[in-house]
């Protein structure tokens, strides 16, 4: 998800998106451990997306 799209959400919505992404990441890591997944670079993309969302959330919370 792009940063501009994330900035449109409220802090509560961003928090919900982060929790969903963390669950997805945990699931992908487990599946990769059990058997190799088709696209392991997706794990890196999700981690970066979580970091991007946390950064924007922090910006919104400290701005107020």
Q: What is the CATH number of the domain that holds 50?
A: 1.10.287.310
Q: Read off the tokens for 1.
A: 């998800």
Instruction: Give the 3-state DSSP-derived string for the chain, with helices as H, strands as E and coil as C.
Output: CCHHHHHCCCHHHHHHHHHHHHHHHHHHHHHHHHCCCCCCHHHHHHHHHHHHHHHHHHHHHHHC
Count of structural domains within the chain: 1
Beta-carbon count within 10 A of 9 CB = 17
- The range of the structural domain enclosing residue 12 comes to 3-63
Where residue 64 falls among pLDDT bands split at 50, 70, 90? low
With CA atoms as reference, report the closest residue to 14 among 42, 56, 45. 56
- Mean pLDDT estimate for the chain: 95
pTM for this one? Answer: 0.90
pLDDT tens-digit map of 13-39 = 999 999 999 999 999 999 999 998 899
- pLDDT at 63 > cutoff 70: yes
């Amino acid at each position: 998800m792009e940063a501009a799209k994330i900035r449109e959400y409220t802090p509560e919505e961003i928090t919900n998106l982060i929790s969903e992404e963390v669950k997805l990441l945990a699931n992908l890591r487990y599946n990769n451990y059990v058997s190799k997944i088709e696209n392991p670079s997706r794990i890196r993309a999700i981690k970066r997306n979580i970091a991007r969302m946390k950064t924007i959330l922090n910006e919104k919370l400290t701005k107020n």
